[in-house]
Amino acid sequence: MILTVTPNPSLDRTVTLDGPVTRGAVHRAVEVVSQAGGKGVNISRASVVAGVASVAVVPAPPEDPFVLELLAAGIDCRPVPSAGAPRVNITLTEPDGTTTKVNSPGPTVTPQVLDGLSAALRSRAGTAEWVVLAGSLPPGAPVDWYAERVADLRGSARVAVDTSDAPLQALVDGLPGSAPALMKPNAEELASFTGTDPEELESHPRAAARAAATLLDRGVGAVLATLGGRGAVLVTAGGAWHAGPPPTTVVSTVGAGDSSLFGYLLGDLRGLPPADRLALAVAYGSAAAALPGTTIPRPDQVRPDLVTAHRLDLTPGATA
């Protein structure tokens, strides 16, 4: 079972445009799609579609349409009662696949709601094969909330974290005490706390892997770093690998990183070796990028057979 905790869930509204975005212009929407989402929620969606048990913990009124939508989709949603409805995030998608996001901050969270999320996490973590803490933190939450939750669960659950900005920096600042079993930064996030150039990391997988390896030196179990069109790298205690994506017509990149993370977790649950877990992660992310909005790919849409992971030599001066 995969337990996901999404402290700042969102109603994801994707507007597909008939042309490129022009500031100050009037645009025509080809399609508008709304879906209950958030990083952890997206992973629970992927789990259900793949036939893997998942529980999604979110702060929301129990009868909120957001919760009812997840329940109707077959997701075991466990809402922690809160006063505010989930935020609305807007994505503008252009015909060439370029996406522009406008994310709302979300309702201010109270200490009581945070305590409820922590209690829900503690009570279910022991039965989960993976615990996923994902997304931004809502206003009112301390920036080290993820770091503290990881520290609380050390030794009792394998935790994967996918976040950014101040919560990510707080997690890194708390290492090794806050070290999760898995971190999933993108190139920009990886660069933000390793002092490197994000364009360099995204363009050169070996540079990204070397930056990720510094996290293993500080106690992190493994790092899955997504590199956009260059695929992803995986660094574990057993080595480093890079996998490029299969040929993909990009429709929307929203949710592709979440799908990549689920692909890795699914590979782990299947007992696959690291290179094959990475291949499955990249295949899931690519399949998601080929679908509109935040659509989660079905297993039959995922082609890991078209992805090859290559081992990277990270010794100084290595070029292969």
Query: Which residues belong to the active site?
Result: 258
Contacts with 262 (C-beta within 8 Å, 6 or more apart), sequence order: 42, 43, 46, 47, 50, 284
271: left (phi over 0), alpha (psi -120 to 50) or beta: left
Contacts with 79 (C-beta within 8 Å, 6 or more apart), sequence order: 57, 58, 59, 60, 61, 62, 64, 67
Exposure string over 160-198, b if 16+ CB within 10 A, otherwise e: bbbbeeebbbbbbebbeebbbbbbbbbbebbbbbbebeb
Token pair for 261: 């993370």
Sign of CA dihedral 66, 180, 299, 287: positive
Asked if 251 contacts 289 with a C-beta cutoff of 8 angstroms, the reply is yes
Residue 133's beta-bridge partner residues? 5, 161
Matching residue, tokens 């990249």: 282
* Omega of the bond leading into 304 within 30 degrees of 0 (cis): no
Residue 5's beta-bridge partner residues? 57, 133
